[in-house]
Structure 1
Amino acid sequence: MRKTLFTASALALALAAPFAQAFEAGDIIVRAGAITVDPHEDSSDVKVGGAAQGGTGATLNSDTQLGLNFAYMVTDKVGVELLAATPFSHDVGTKGLGGLKLGELKHLPPTLSVIYYPMEKTSAFQPYVGAGINYTWFFDDKLTSEAENSALQLRGLDMKDSWGLAAQVGMDYMLTDNLMLNAQVRYIDIDTTGTTYSEAADAKIKVDVDVDPFVYMVGLGYKF
């Protein structure tokens, strides 16, 4: 008897899911989950007083934070979405400089996108694509004590903010008329310049970095 009831319940859920209504014009969608920024950086040589030091460069590590999405459906298939998150923290390393850990930084990468859902709203599975613009604000840039006490005697660190394009693919799966599972992947064009000063060389030190991260997010969403 229990097995029959379990089978009937599972069948009811399976049949109900495809009939969960997806999105309509005027809907507001809020998503939250774990978001990871994974830099795929391409760095220039470090320049000391304008002279490039061959075989050198900068590196950045990955970080995971709380990600937030807010979307408004303009039509049943087209929406406008804002990506937000708690601040990301990255270690700034070097190559060709004895593995010197240069510093630490934080950033916020708000991204505004237009998203498009190709499936009919009667489908529980809702893949989508999107494209938009990103602004990355770097703050709390600071050198490590290792960098300050190195032979270069570095002083101060500044990272330039960035504007760039962003693209994404994602999917929602409607668990109910309002609750959904979400997964998304983005590529964001982030370019920055790091600047510090060497007392030992009496010169400004600069490095250009194309951060260009892939951004991964998995979480839950709710439609209002």
Structure 2
Amino acid sequence: MKTQILRTGCALALLAAFGAAQAQVAGTWSVRVGGTHIKPQTRSENLTAPSFPNTKVDVGSASALTGGINYMLTDHWALDLPVGLPFKHSFYGDDAIAGVGKLGETKVVPATLFLQYRFGEANAALRPYVGLGVTYSKFFKNRSTAALSAITGGTPANPTTASIDNKFGLTPQVGLVWNFTDRMFLDVAYYKSFLKTTAHLSSGQSIGMRLNPDVVSVGIGWRF
């Protein structure tokens, strides 16, 4: 009986060790949930005529509940797909119209697919990584304020509205995975999206914006 118990214990220990070694090997899937903060680094062009000189805009930060799906192609290379709720950004007057306040808001879904390289051994507790992704930013539910109408000739009966071009951009990334159990991990990442888009107003005017947001994401995940 003791021999059988010893054999069973050894077998379970080997299985546990094998499971730990399989932490991030080829073919492993993982999911995570957490939050992401996006801070645009806005460089606005001037609003096209007719407008005051140096009429520009700034874009506010936004946070949302997010997560992600990851697949290990090899022990080091992975595909990563962040997912989450839309981000809501507000637009404000800047430069010559800095005092007018909020001009409008939009929701955006930044859909990104990353190719990542993870350093260290597959069963390491800490694995830093770098990634490069392609982001497609889809803007929707654009809303404008009375302040926007006031500076563009709109009226309460015919307010100025806006639409924003959907765009692709490159997104480099750095991050760290902390595997605090065989299955569970903490994922922390910073990335920079290089994004330029244009807002078109119903008044016939337009304004180009280089957003280039800084992005910080944190998630708790499960590997299977």
TM-score of the aligned structures, taking structure 2 as reference length: 0.83
In 1, Cα distance between the equivalents of 2:152 and 2:111? 38
Question: Structure 1, unaligned stretches of length 5 or more?
Answer: 1-18, 199-203
The residue that corresponds to 1:170 in the other structure is: 175
In 2, Cα distance between the equivalents of 1:82 and 1:111? 6
In 2, Cα distance between the equivalents of 1:64 and 1:151? 30
> SS where residue 177 of structure 2 aligns?
strand
TM-superposed deviation, 1:20: 4.6
Q: Is the 8 A contact 1:20 1:123 kept in 2?
A: no
Answering whether residue 77 of structure 2 is matched by residue 72 of structure 1, we say no
Call closer, same or farther: CA 1:189–1:31 in 2, change over 3 Å: same
The residue that corresponds to 2:93 in the other structure is: 94
The residue that corresponds to 1:58 in the other structure is: 57
The residue that corresponds to 1:189 in the other structure is: 194
How many residues are aligned here? 200
The residue that corresponds to 2:12 in the other structure is: none
In 1, Cα distance between the equivalents of 2:20 and 2:186? 13
TM-score of the aligned structures, taking structure 1 as reference length: 0.83
Q: What one-letter code is carried by the residue in structure 1 that aligns with 2:216?
A: Y
The residue that corresponds to 2:7 in the other structure is: none
Give % identity.
29
Question: Structure 2, unaligned stretches of length 5 or more?
Answer: 1-18
Q: Which has the higher strand share?
A: 1
Q: Is the 8 A contact 2:67 2:219 kept in 1?
A: no
How large is the Cα RMSD of the aligned pairs? 1.9
The residue that corresponds to 2:165 in the other structure is: 160
Q: Is the 8 A contact 1:20 1:175 kept in 2?
A: no
Q: What one-letter code is carried by the residue in structure 2 that aligns with 1:47?
A: T
Q: Is the 8 A contact 1:173 1:180 kept in 2?
A: yes
The residue that corresponds to 2:13 in the other structure is: none
